[in-house]
Amino acid sequence: MDTVARSVQRSGNISEDMAPYPFKWVPVSEDVRAAKARLHHGGDTDQISVDVDMVRSVPGDFYMPRTFANGDHERVHDFKFRPDDVVVMTYPKCGTTWTQEMAWQLTHPGGHDTEADLSMRAPFLESGCLPATVFAHDGGELFLETLPLHSRDPIAYTEQLASPRVIKTHLWFDFLPQNLLDTCKGTYT
């Protein structure tokens, strides 16, 4: 059964340091979908977009892409942060890239590997829930399997990075592990 249509139930082994997932996800009505399309796309309700294919959290009324509610939500909520991680938490378009780059430079003295793309050095934790079309800037089709791991499965990519890690998120604090600030450093821009 689709996670969106029911309460999220964790299976089996929850360690004592993990709280149960506090949200359930419900479909967004066609009226809300159309209103979001008008607001973000000038009325084009057929445009494939993160803003259009959304679900809503209960409680909270947070809107997220349907793909987030179909699995990434628990992976993010259960993500194991390390003591030397720096988490850059921002609202979109509020200095995220600048803050990520500063955090990465401060945690990696000497600035080695600055030639690598910032999205590889400081991955975007929930980017795996974005439709592949978001990454197709030239208007062409892009298939999920053609994306690099840091875009296709950023959680797995981030888990394998060497410490110290700089991690970006636009998620509300409620969706992140409750022990985040007890475990690592965070900056909220």
Decide if 89 contacts 180 (C-beta within 8 A).
Answer: no
Residues annotated as part of the active site = 170
**How many residues can be counted in the chain?**
189
**Residue position matching structure tokens 């929930």:** 126
Decide if 78 contacts 18 (C-beta within 8 A).
Answer: yes
Q: How far apart are CA 142 and CA 121, in angstroms?
A: 23
Q: How far apart are CA 57 and CA 35, in angstroms?
A: 18
Q: How far apart are CA 42 and CA 34, in angstroms?
A: 10
